[in-house]
Structure formats: structure tokens, C-alpha cells
Structure 1
Amino acid sequence: MIRHGADPTSGATEAQSPPVTAGDPAPAAGFGARLTAPLLMGSLLNPLNTTMISTALVAIGHSFGIGAADTAWLISVLYLASAVAQPVLGKLADTLGPRRVFLAGLVVVIASGLVGALAPGFGTLIVSRLLLGIGTSAAYPAAMAVLRDESRRLGRPTPRPVLARLSFAALGSAAVGPALGGLLVSVVGWRGIFAVNVPIALLALGAALLWVPADPPRGAAAGGNVPKLSLDPLGTGLFTAALTVLVFFLLDLADPRWWLLAPFGVLTAALVRWQLRTPQPFIDIRMLANNGPLLRTYARHGLGYLLIYCVMYGFTQWLEEARGFSPGHTGLLMLPMSVTALVCSLLGARTKGLRGPLTLAALLLTVGAGILAFLSGDTPLAVLLLAGACFGAPQGLIGTSNQAAVQAHAPPESIGAAAGLQRTAQYIGAITASSLIALAYADGTSDAGLHLMAAVSVVLAVLLTVLTLTDRALRART
């Protein structure tokens, strides 16, 4: 485990990797296309499946004779599975080896895609989405751990452009998800959105088998300081149970089930107590308590994506139901958001610092939320496009910069679990955003509901700006 107070950016050189022999791959080949290609293919599956389902819900409901309240579980179950599985599989990547976890996750994706494509009933579809959430959650934390091991081998940090490609893959796949889903539903039916996972996962699996290096011995990979196996099943179970209860509470803030806070508090207290007592905890509470920069990164990431998801779902819903745009026209109106997110993801990778991109992102979120507060039925089209763009740029900057911050501040031997917790913060933000939207539109989608959501977003965006400007750890260059 990295020493408290040690330079968090020096993890790539603290533990010396074994000397390169004549039979080893040349160090210059590190971070090349062969290594990153399977990581990118695997990492795009989770965000792709979070958005691709949106254009298939109506068709699925008609096929099984169910309503929107039931089909919504296809969205919620993947968010829940992903929020829980990302740090769990990240921990497995740290202890068992990232290549093993990456490959196992792809096998689960293939199986879940087949289950969904052949599902005889709606319950089977729920199982398929649950498995998809688990299987696709392995790729990102395992990819971060693979890059960590490659960084050790080469004796230099992972380049920001490599991290940007991971962010770009997530943003790009999420952006094209609705369009791809609509195409598949139109051509082959809703089962196509499940079946499409199979060829993508097979390609990623074959490429990973060929090009991702075998896992080094975990003791050696962690500098000899961590036992080969330290899974902490009790800690993992307590974390999973506590987070599941929290997510179920957040899913319905319009009619809050306050009694769920009692078991959440008990499970959280038990988790903290156990993590402080066990020698190899699932979540190192002491490390997090002494690692303010990492905790603040999680807070910024979750809060930033809460605001972004409010626009993704709340603004688009207002465009369709209050302004009367068709789904196709709404997709076109949101195109500036997707394009600016992709462009800013690449631009953010070209900067050496973290404070500048994150501050700009927070300010743009504030401006964008302010614009939403004044929209109405006769707002010019250009203003609607500007509002989407104001939220697209932060999406790219936040994704890339916070990813680099996790790489810089997390203990090198725990980067998989740390990356998983980053995604957990993002999904909690998404789930909270959906509940805030439900509160704002409790009496129907209207200008007043949009303005209420925007007012809350302005307050949260100002808070995010303050958190960013006051974080001294962001002064460091990466």
C-alpha cells in the first residue's frame, strides 16, 4: 500500500518492475494500439448499454404487454448492478489480475447478450440486464489496472491521451447508443440491442487474448506489499448490501421510503467497523480518510454527472413533452452536446493540469443551468442548442480530468478498486438525477418543472465550482 503523504503521482516508479529480458516485449511498445484496442472495445459496452435501451423500451413493453413503470426496471437494474459491480470487480482486478477479470467480464457479456436475445419473458430480460451490468462493469476498472501494470513495466506514468481514449470510448458509445438502438429495433427488432453485445464482446475477447499481457504476480505488481489474495468477502458483501439499499432509496425520492435509511445506516456502520478491523479491507477506510484529493475527486465526479444526467433525461423530456419535438428532432437538438463532449474529451487530454479543465467545466455547468431556468415554449432554437452545448463540454472535461486525478491520487496497487468507486459515484449521480427529475415533473412535464430542476442545478453547479477552486491538490500538473 502506498505510504500516506507519498507523492501520489510517483506510483509508476516507486515499485521497480522486473528487468526486461531479451524475450520480453520491447518497452517502446507500451501503451500502443494493440494494448489499448481491446481495453477500448470492452470499456464502451457499459455506457453503450445504458443509453441503447432508451429507444427499445416501447417495443419491449408492447411485446410483453407491460407499461412504462415495468420497463423502467430495465434501466434501473443495470445502473444498480453497475454501481455495485464496478468497485467489486476493480478489487478483483487488483488482487487476481486485471487481464483475468477483463476476460471473465467479456464472457459474462456474451452470455447475457444471448440470454436477452432469446428471452422468452420479461423476467429473463431483467436477468439479462443484471448480467450485462455485472459483465460490462469489469472492463473499465480492469483497463485502468492493466495501464497501471504497463506503467510499472515502462517506468513512466500512463500518458493522458491514453486515458482520454478510455473517456472518449465511453462518451462516444453513450452518444451513439440511442441512434444504434433505434436502428436495431427498426431492422431486427428489440432483441437486436441484446444480441449486438455478442460480436463486440467476442472481438474484444479475441483481441485481449492476443494483445493484453499476462498478469504479473500480484505481490510483484504491488511492490511486494500486498498479499496475492485479499478479497475480503465480508466487506464486499456489506458494501454491496449498503449500496443496494441506498440506490433503492434514491430511485424514488418523489415518494421516499424513509425506513430504508435505518438498514442503510446499520449496514454502513458495520462496513466501516469491519474495514477498520480487517488487515486487507475491500475499501481502505484509513487510506480514504487520509487521501482528501481522492475523496474530493469522487465528490466532484458524482456531482458533475448528477448535473449532466439532469440534462440528458430532464431537458430531453421537456423538449419532447413540453415543446412537442419528435424523438428524432430531440436527438438532433442534443447533437451539439454529444459533439462538444467528444471534442472536449480529446482537448482535455492535451492539458497538463487538472484545475483549469475542471474549473471551466464547473463554470459551464453553472451557465448551462442558468439558461435552463429561463427557457419557455417560445425560446429560440439557437438558445436550446447553446444549452445543450454548455453541458456537453463539461461532460468531456470532467470525464477525462477526473479519470486522470484518480490515476494520480489513488494508491497504485488499488487503482482498479479506485476506478470502480469513481464509476460508482457517477452512477449514484445518475440515479439521484432521475429522482430529482421525477420530483420536478411530479405534476407533469412543464416549464415550471424545468425551472425548478434548473434552480437546484444552479446551486449544485456553484457548489461544484467552489469545490474545484478550493482544492489545492488540483494545482499539480499530471
Structure 2
Amino acid sequence: MSVRSWWLMISVGLGILLNPLNSSMVSVAIPSLQKVFQLDFTGVSWIIFSFYIASSIAQPVMGKASDLFGRRKIFLTGLVVAFIASLLAPLSPNFGWLIVFRIVQSIGTSMMVGVGMAIVRIHITEKQATALSVLSIFLSGAAAIGPFIGGVLIHWWNWPAIFFINIPFVVASFVLAWRNIPKDELPTSLARNMSFRKWFELIDASGILLFTVALVTLLVGLLSAKSFGHISLGNVIVGLIGLVALGIFVRHELKATSPFIPLRTFAKYPA
């Protein structure tokens, strides 16, 4: 494998590790956040769940976007978005704004995961399995070491440090990616002339909305029941709304021409 290929892997790896790093690192900051913002268990838990929900939506959407608008462009944009979110999150005036920046951070880091894999598969043809294995080390290694890094940062500084720590990784990845990721081909005429309606159909905006409603309402119902210590009528109603939304989502995905989650693929290839 050439030196240029290794630099390309490092450039991509430093970007894609931000998603698993931030999903695991924040777990040790829960007590600090709960104390600072005066939250109960249900409220503070959304710092974790909001990130996962946003990631589960953003990653497949950004994969489709990169096919149309260019993988290098999406990857670099994701780094910029992650940089802005990591810089502004510690300045949040309240927990609501922190959740907003956390979602933005999740979207930014999600722009790099699937796109980074595609970049390596396209531009590294020699020892491709080795290259993808190296990327998996970045992903799994970041998830494993995240709580340790978060614990050290919380011990010596405070919860804002778990956001600021992203900045050197983002800057290093951006500089290396700018130099090592090959430029995208010119966008196709389809991408240039695509209307918002066509784009919404392509990413299955209806499916995304149903998926989000189902996940959020189910989590709200479950977390509220756990927080209050008993199941109330309100918890049951919210949970039922989530189940209904989930059922409508499944039915919609089976009929959609460009489904957000291709459920028929799982049925076709059960293994």
C-alpha cells in the first residue's frame, strides 16, 4: 500500500472517529450535567439519545447526498459542522441549546462515517480489506477509549472539555483531508437540476419523519415511566403513539420507491 493511501486512511480515520468518540465520551459527564443544569434522569438522558437518533437519521441521508454532490465535499462540510458545534456547545446558555448543538454535532460527525468508508473503497484499490480494517480500528477504538478520555477530562477540567477535545481532531483531519482526498467529479445534471421535492422523495423525508416520531415518543414514554417510578396513563398514551408511528413507518417503507431504511433487503437476505 502506497504512502499516499496511508495518509488518506489517516485523514478519513481522524474524521470518522469523532462519531463513536462523542457517543461514548459523554456518558461520564452525565452526573456533572445533571448537577449543573438541575435535571432529573429523564431530562439529562437526552444528551445521549439525541445524538444516537440524529446519527441514525443523518448517516444514511448523507450517504445518498454524497452520491449526488460529492464525497469530498460532504466529508469536509461535516468537519466544519462538527467544529462549529464543538465550539458552541460549551457556551450553551441552557440545556435546551446544548441538546441543539449536540444534534448538530451528531449530524456533522455522521456526514463523515459512511462517506469516509466510501472514499477509502473508491480510492484505495490495493489491499482494500486492510484499509477498511484500519478504519474499523478508528471506529471501535474511539468508542472503547471514549469513556476513559471523558473521565480524565471531567476530572481535570469540566464537562465543556468533552466538546473542546474534538477541535484538534477536526483541524488535523480537515488539513489532511484537504490535501489527500481526491477532488470530486463534477456533479451530475441530475444533482444540479434536482428540485426540493425530488430531493425529499430521494431521501424519503416522510419516512425520516415517521422514524423520528416513533423513536422519540417511545423513548419519552419509557424514560418518563422510569423517572417517575410508575406507569401513568400519559406514559401509555405516548408509548402507543410511538408504536402506531412505528407501524405506519414500516408500512410506508415497504411501499416507498427510495426507502430511508430498505426493509425489504432484510427480508430478502435474512442471514
How would you bin the TM-score normalised by the shorter chain? 0.7 to 0.9
Greater share of helix residues, 1 or 2?
Answer: 2
Partner of 1:181: 150
Partner of 1:232: 199
Partner of 1:453: none
1:247-286 to structure 2, matched below 5 A, reads: 247-251=215-219, 252=221, 257-273=239-255, 275-276=256-257, 281=258, 283=260
TM-score (norm. length: structure 1) = 0.48
Q: Secondary structure at the match of 2:204?
A: helix
Determine the C-alpha separation between the residues in 2 that align with 1:147 and 1:68.
41
Determine the C-alpha separation between the residues in 1 that align with 2:71 and 2:4.
16
Determine the C-alpha separation between the residues in 2 that align with 1:150 and 1:106.
20
1:166-205 to structure 2, matched below 5 A, reads: 166-205=135-174
TM-score (norm. length: structure 2) = 0.82
1:10-49 to structure 2, matched below 5 A, reads: 29=2, 32-49=5-22
Q: CA RMSD in A?
A: 2.7
1:215-364 to structure 2, matched below 5 A, reads: 215-217=184-186, 227-228=190-191, 232-234=199-201, 235-251=203-219, 252=221, 257-273=239-255, 275-276=256-257, 281=258, 283=260, 289=265, 292-293=268-269, 296=270
1:67-466 to structure 2, matched below 5 A, reads: 67-151=40-124, 156=125, 159-217=128-186, 227-228=190-191, 232-234=199-201, 235-251=203-219, 252=221, 257-273=239-255, 275-276=256-257, 281=258, 283=260, 289=265, 292-293=268-269, 296=270
Q: Which amino acid aligns with 2:160?
A: R
**Structure 2 residue runs without a partner (length 5+):** 226-234
Q: Structure 1 residue 50 and structure 2 residue 23: aligned?
A: yes
Residue deviations 1:392-414, cap 9 Å, x none? xxxxxxxxxxxxxxxxxxxxxxx
Q: 1:267 to 1:69 in 2, by over 3 A?
A: closer
Q: Which amino acid aligns with 2:94?
A: G
Q: Secondary structure at the match of 1:243?
A: helix
Partner of 1:66: 39
Q: 1:84 to 1:31 in 2, by over 3 A?
A: farther
Q: 1:157 to 1:131 in 2, by over 3 A?
A: same
Shift of 1:118: 1.4
Given that 1:31 and 1:162 are in contact with CA atoms closer than 8 Å, whether structure 2 keeps it comes out as no
Given that 1:106 and 1:201 are in contact with CA atoms closer than 8 Å, whether structure 2 keeps it comes out as yes
Q: 1:203 to 1:291 in 2, by over 3 A?
A: farther
Shift of 1:148: 3.4
**Structure 1 residue runs without a partner (length 5+):** 1-27, 220-225, 297-466, 468-478
Q: Percent identity?
A: 30
Q: Which amino acid aligns with 1:106?
A: L
Q: Secondary structure at the match of 1:120?
A: coil
Given that 1:94 and 1:218 are in contact with CA atoms closer than 8 Å, whether structure 2 keeps it comes out as no
For the pair shown, which has the larger CA radius of gyration, 1 or 2? 1
Shift of 1:41: 0.5
Given that 1:45 and 1:136 are in contact with CA atoms closer than 8 Å, whether structure 2 keeps it comes out as yes
